[in-house]
Structure 1
Amino acid sequence: MDDALGTTALSAGPLLLRPWRAEDAPALIEAYRDPGMRAMLRTQVTNEAAAERWLRVQQEGRESGSRFSFAVVDRDRDGELVGNVALKYPVPGSGSAEVGYWTAAPARGRGVAPLALGALGDWAFEAFAEDGLTRLELLHRMDNEASCRVAEKSGYGLVEVLPARPPRPRDHRHVRLRSGDVRRTGNVGP
C-alpha cells in the first residue's frame, strides 16, 4: 500500500475525514450507545476493550490496503465526531469496491453522510484509478429509508433489491460509477 494512503485526510465543507485515532475511543463508544445505530450495524462497540478492537481493525485495514475507514469530524463544532465512512477494497483490479458509513445520532439531519460519502467516493476514484476502480457499491437494509435517501443524495442510484441472507433481511444495492452514469439493473421492486 502507498504510505500516503494510510495517512490521508479529506475535506468536505466543514467536515474533516481523517484516520481513526486511539483517543477517539470514548466518542466511538458514545456513538454506539444509539439504539438505532446498534440495530443497523453488525459490530457492536459497548466498552473500552471493544473500542480498542474496532480501532485496531480499522488500522489493520489501512495497513493492508483492504479497508480505508475515516472518522468524520465537524471542524465547526470543535472536532466533534459525527460519523464514519469506509472504503472496503478487497480485490484491487476488480474495478469495484464497497462503501459504508454511519452517522452519530446528534449529527443526523445535518447533511453529514452525503457530504462525507461524496468526498470518500471522489477520493477513491482518484486514489485507485490506476487499479481500475470504476464502481462503488453501497448496501443497506431495505427498511432503512434514511440510508436510501443518503445514497441517492450522494450519487448512488438504486440498482437492485437483494434477496434476504439470514440473519440479514433484504438489502438495497446502490451504485455510483466513476463516470457518474448509473443504470438501474436487476430487481428494484419491493
Structure 2
Amino acid sequence: MNDTVILRAGSTPSSPTLLLRRWSMEDVAALVEAYRDPVLRRWTSSVVDNEGDAVQWVKAQEQGWEAGVRFSFAVLEAQPDSNRGQLVGHVVLKGVVPGKPSAEVGYWTAAHARGRGFAHRALDALTGWAFATLRADGLQRLELLHQVDNLASCRVAQKSRYDFDKVLPAAPPAFPLDGHVHARHWDV
C-alpha cells in the first residue's frame, strides 16, 4: 500500500476538517499522552505507558501496513492547508485477507476530543477508503465489535450506518462481558 495514504473528512459548521494519515514516529509523544486517559485504557487492549511502548506500537502499525493485513490511521484535527494537526484519535482496518469477504474496523478517540463527532467522521472516511481500495480483492463487509456496556461505541456505529448484527458471548478474561457486532456492507 502507498506510504502517502491521506484521507480527509470534510469540515462541518461545528467541526474542523479531519486528516487521517499513517502513524509515524513523530506521533509517539501524542500517543503516550492519549494513553494516559483511563477511559481509553479501559476499552483498548494495547498498553502504551511510555515512549518505548509507543515506539513499539507505531512499529506494529507500520508492520501491519507492510504485510497488508492492518491499516491504521492517526486521526488529526487538521491545520489549514497542511498534513499536520493535533492528534484526536485512531481508526484501523484489521484482519484483511485477500479473498476474505469481511474485515474488522476499530477506533479510539483522545479524551480532549470526545463528543465532537470525530469518531464517526473518521470511521466513515475509513469505511469509504476500505471499500474503494479493497472491494476488488473481495471485501464486502466490515464489522465493528465492542463490549456491550460501551454505549459510546454503539452510538458511533449507528451514526456510521453500521447496523447491529448480533451479540457475542463473553470470553473471559480478555472479554469479560458480552459484545456487540455491528456490520456495514459495501453497497450501503
Letter of the structure 2 residue corresponding to residue 11 of structure 1: R
Residue 39 of structure 1 and its aligned partner are, at CA, apart by 0.7
Matching residue of 1:28: 31
Picking from 8, 13, 24, the partner of 1:11 is: 8
Matching residue of 2:179: 171
Does structure 2 retain, via aligned residues, the 8 Å contact 1:67–1:88? yes
Instruction: Give the direction of change, closer, same or farther, for the CA distance of 1:76–1:111 in structure 2 (3 Å limit).
Output: farther
Matching residue of 1:113: 119
Letter of the structure 2 residue corresponding to residue 172 of structure 1: H
Does structure 2 retain, via aligned residues, the 8 Å contact 1:62–1:68? yes
Matching residue of 2:143: 137
Residue 76 of structure 1 and its aligned partner are, at CA, apart by 4.5
Letter of the structure 2 residue corresponding to residue 148 of structure 1: C
Secondary structure at 1:128's aligned position in 2? helix
In the aligned structure 1, how far is the partner of 2:47 from the partner of 2:160? Answer: 26
Listed as ranges, the gaps of 5+ residues in structure 2 are: 11-16
Does structure 1 retain, via aligned residues, the 8 Å contact 2:96–2:102? no
Matching residue of 1:183: none
Total equivalences in the alignment: 177
Picking from 84, 87, 90, the partner of 2:93 is: 87
Secondary structure at 1:33's aligned position in 2? coil
Matching residue of 1:184: none
Secondary structure at 2:129's aligned position in 1? helix
In the aligned structure 1, how far is the partner of 2:93 from the partner of 2:20? Answer: 12
Deviations 1:108-138 (A, max 9, x none): 0110001000000000001001101110000
In the aligned structure 2, how far is the partner of 1:170 from the partner of 1:92? Answer: 29
What TM-score, normalized by structure 2, do the two folds share? 0.91
Letter of the structure 2 residue corresponding to residue 83 of structure 1: G
Residue 90 of structure 1 and its aligned partner are, at CA, apart by 3.2
Listed as ranges, the gaps of 5+ residues in structure 1 are: 181-190
What TM-score, normalized by structure 1, do the two folds share? 0.90
CA RMSD of aligned residues (A): 1.2
